Every structure is written in C-alpha cells, then in structure tokens.
C-alpha cells in the first residue's frame, strides 16, 4: 500500500510539474512578441499567423491525440511529445525565415496537444471518482505554474539578454520536464491494486469497447455545446495570455518586465481558481460544476472589461488580473476537464477532452490571427512614434466573454432539464 501511494502521488507530481513545463515551451513566444516587432524581425500580423499555427495544430492534435491516448502508453507519449517541443524552442532562438517559424510553431502545437489528455488519463487511472475533483483542481494549477514561470523568468531573461534567450531558456526548463515525466509518470496502477484501491466503482460502461464509448461521446450534443462555450472562453484566455504583455506595454507604457509581472499575477491567482474550484464543487455543491462555472464566467466578463476600459492605474490593472486569473482558472478546470469527465463514460475520457480541446484551440487560433491583424491595422506613426488604437480589440475581447457566459447559461439549463427528465 505504501508503494502504491508513493507511485500514485508520484504520478500526480509528474503530471502537474510536467504539464506546467509544457506551458513554458508553449508560451515563450508571447513574451518575445514586442521585442521581435521592435527589432523589425516580425510584424504583428506575422506573429498572429505564427501563433495561430500552434493553436490550429493543437486543436486537431488534441482531438486526435485524445483518442490515441486512450489506447497507448501515456508515459512515453507525454515525455516524447515534450521532447519535440523542447527541440522546437531551441531552433526558434535562431534567425530563420517566417514560414519556417510557422511550420515549427505548428509542429510544437501538435505535440503540445498530447500533454493534457495524457495527464488526465493517468490521473483518472490512479484516483477514484471521490478524489477526482480535488486532484484535478490541483493538477489544473500546472498551467498557472508554467505561465507564471514564463511571464516572470522569461521576461527577465529576454530583458537582459534578448528575445532569442526567451526560447532557449524555455527549452532548458522543458528538458527537465522530459526527464521528470519519464521517471515518475506510471500510466496506471498494477492490475491487482487498481480494482481494490482505485476502482471503487465498476461501471458497466467499462465492459464496452473503447470505440463504442468514443462514438457515444461524439453523439452527445452537450459535449459539443460545451466545446463551443469553452472555445469562446479561450478567445478571452489567450487574448490576455498572448497579447496582454503587448497591450500593457503599448497602451499603458509599462516596461516588458512590468507587463510580464502583471500578466503573471493572473497566472498566480489562477492557481486559486483551479485548486479550490474542484474541491468546493465536490464539498459544497455535490460535484455540481455548472453553477460555479457560470459565476466564474461572469467574473471573467468583469475582469476583461476592467483590463480593457479602465484608465491607466497599477491598482486597477492588478485587480483586473486577479479577477481574470481566478475566473479563468475555474473555467479551465471545469470546462476543459471536470464537466467533460462527468459527462463522458470512463473509457472515453480522452475522447471527451479531445473534443473540448478542438473547440478551445480553434477559438484560440482565430483569436490569434484576428488580434494580430486588428493591432497592426489600427496603428499609425505620428512624429516617428507608433500610436495604437485598441478600440476594435476591446469590442472583440469583451464580446467573447459575454458570448461564453450566455452559452454556459444554456448548458446549465439543458443539463438541469436532462437530470429532471431522468429522475
């Protein structure tokens, strides 16, 4: 039993730290955007295209890799995929042609997409349903860890040494994650322990074929509606994550390190949302996720409005990032995982996560292209100085937050109606 517990918590630690370092290798571009533009290396539109390549390949990759992860060894899959991401970040530190950057960053997105499904499946195999909400909440903080590390450490490195070192420092941190995952991430408990220690429930669905269960997930309209709502929410998430540093520096005249520190506030506070959301819903709401998801979505709308429309004020900007981080942390934990896990049969969790991921990163990719275009097309040169007009961006990002809130309301209503009908 002691060995089992050691292995179980080793899996949790490997999934959490490992996936956090996935994010370091994914977000490195966000820190170096302004320096790249200032150096004349790339334009905002080009950066939007490069960023969208990751999101679109991630969307398709997460859909396919979610199904694939249900069938193969997630330890090798997760470690190997991060190794490719490390290699891509190393290469991007060199001056290479624009379309080569697009291809490499798209390749990064494809292999990045394996991290989430592999982590969820490993946790699902090792922890019972009674533990799942709390454990998943803590694991979801992994992206906050990765974001905070990127926005603080990479910003300092880039400010001191140049944008190339933003990619190289990410590659070094990711390499550590590869080793850590390979050593500690065991795909599932030994068969003799898994029945008594983990599988306290023995659903009939597990006796069905994986293919049949995955088809059942595909036919579930609420899964697809959840993917749409989550995808629109990801427009907000990556609007701030991808362009927040740029916006703070260009519109509110913060330095790169100051802007990175402000965005890191959202990542750090997001840990609160991700960790405690699952525990609160398990403990006080009888594992009902949608009421808290609705409240978090409303908070996200308020945070985006403050971020975009409030006048320059460090206090207000910090408050907006606190609210944004907590709300997005809850929404990622619920919409990107727990709600899908609750709706899907256990043998097809990877498929459900894959479908949600498809919606998430199509939304993020569309955001990246449109945001880059709107920023570049609405800037002018006045007396040798670049002047930005972010009015269109403000409407775009706030509208996305409002639409996501509306869709969550619809999902909440439909699931409540289904439960009443079943009772």
Please report the domains of the chain, with CATH numbers, ordered by start residue. 2-422 (1.20.1250.20)
Closest CA to 26 of 124, 134, 127, 151: 151
What confidence score (pLDDT) does residue 197 get?
Answer: 45
What confidence score (pLDDT) does residue 423 get?
Answer: 64
What confidence score (pLDDT) does residue 232 get?
Answer: 95
What confidence score (pLDDT) does residue 199 get?
Answer: 45
pLDDT 10s digit of each residue in the chain, 423 long? 666 666 777 888 888 899 999 999 998 998 888 888 888 888 889 999 999 999 899 888 877 887 787 777 888 899 999 999 999 999 999 888 999 999 999 999 999 988 888 888 888 887 776 676 677 778 877 877 888 888 888 888 988 888 899 999 999 999 999 999 988 887 677 653 443 444 444 444 444 577 787 787 788 888 899 999 999 999 999 999 889 989 998 888 888 889 988 998 998 888 888 777 777 777 777 767 788 889 999 999 999 999 999 888 999 999 999 999 999 988 987 887 677 777 777 667 777 877 887 888 889 889 989 998 998 888 887 777 778 889 999 999 999 999 999 999 998 888 777 777 766
Which two three-digit tokens encode residue 399? Answer: 């509208």
**Furthest C-alpha separation in the chain:** 74
Kind and range of the H or E element at 382? strand 379-382
* Cβ neighbours for 91, distance < 8 A, ≥ 6 positions apart: 104
What confidence score (pLDDT) does residue 281 get?
Answer: 76
Half-sphere exposure of 89 (CA within 13 A, CB side): 33
What confidence score (pLDDT) does residue 278 get?
Answer: 72
What confidence score (pLDDT) does residue 190 get?
Answer: 67
Closest CA to 108 of 77, 75, 82: 82
* Cβ neighbours for 379, distance < 8 A, ≥ 6 positions apart: 44, 386, 387, 388, 389
Sign, CA torsion 208/209/211/214: positive
Q: What is the rounded distance in angstroms from the CA atom of residue 414 to the CA atom of residue 312?
A: 41
Q: What is the rounded distance in angstroms from the CA atom of residue 159 to the CA atom of residue 55?
A: 26
Q: What is the rounded distance in angstroms from the CA atom of residue 377 to the CA atom of residue 100?
A: 24
C-beta of residue 267 within 8 angstroms of C-beta of residue 148: yes
Q: What is the DSSP letter of 387?
A: E
What confidence score (pLDDT) does residue 311 get?
Answer: 85
What confidence score (pLDDT) does residue 129 get?
Answer: 67
């Amino acid at each position: 039993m002691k060995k089992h517990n050691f292995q179980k918590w080793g899996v949790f630690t490997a999934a959490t730290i490992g996936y956090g370092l996935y994010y370091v290798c994914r977000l490195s571009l966000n820190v170096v955007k302004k320096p790249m533009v200032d150096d004349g290396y790339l334009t905002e539109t080009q950066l939007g295209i490069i960023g969208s390549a990751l999101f679109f390949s991630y969307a398709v990759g997460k859909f396919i890799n979610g199904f694939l992860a249900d069938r193969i060894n997630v330890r090798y899959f997760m470690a190997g995929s991060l190794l490719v991401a490390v290699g891509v970040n190393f290469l991007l530190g060199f001056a290479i042609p624009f379309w080569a950057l697009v291809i490499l960053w798209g390749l990064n997105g494809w292999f990045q997409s394996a991290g989430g499904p592999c982590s969820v499946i490993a946790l699902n195999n090792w922890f019972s349903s009674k533990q799942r909400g709390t454990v998943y909440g803590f694991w979801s903080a992994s992206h906050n860890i990765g974001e905070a590390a990127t926005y603080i450490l990479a910003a300092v490195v880039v400010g001191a040494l140049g944008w190339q070192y933003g990619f190289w420092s990410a590659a070094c941190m990711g390499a550590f994650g590869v080793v850590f995952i390979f050593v500690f991430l065991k795909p599932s408990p030994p068969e003799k322990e898994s029945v008594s220690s983990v599988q306290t429930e023995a659903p009939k669905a597990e006796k069905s074929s994986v293919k049949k269960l995955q088809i059942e997930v595909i036919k579930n309209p609420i899964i697809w509606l959840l993917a749409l709502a989550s995808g629109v929410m990801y427009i907000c998430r990556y609007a701030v994550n991808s362009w927040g540093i740029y916006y703070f520096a260009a519109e509110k005249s913060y330095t790169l390190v100051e802007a990175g520190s402000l965005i890191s506030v959202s990542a750090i506070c997001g840990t609160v949302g991700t960790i405690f959301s699952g525990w609160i819903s398990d403990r006080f709401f009888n594992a009902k996720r949608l009421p808290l998801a609705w409240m978090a979505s409303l908070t996200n709308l308020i945070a985006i409005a403050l971020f975009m429309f409030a006048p320059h004020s460090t206090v207000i900007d910090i408050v907006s990032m606190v609210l944004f981080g907590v709300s997005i942390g809850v929404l990622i934990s619920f919409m990107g995982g727990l709600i899908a896990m609750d709706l899907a049969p256990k043998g097809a969790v990877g498929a459900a996560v894959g479908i949600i991921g498809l919606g998430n990163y199509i939304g993020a990719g569309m955001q990246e292209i449109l945001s880059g275009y709107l920023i570049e097309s609405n800037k002018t040169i006045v007396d040798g100085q670049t002047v930005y007009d972010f009015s269109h961006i403000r409407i775009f990002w706030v509208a996305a937050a409002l639409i996501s809130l509306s869709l969550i309301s619809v999902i909440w209503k439909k699931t409540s109606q289904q439960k009443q009908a079943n009772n």
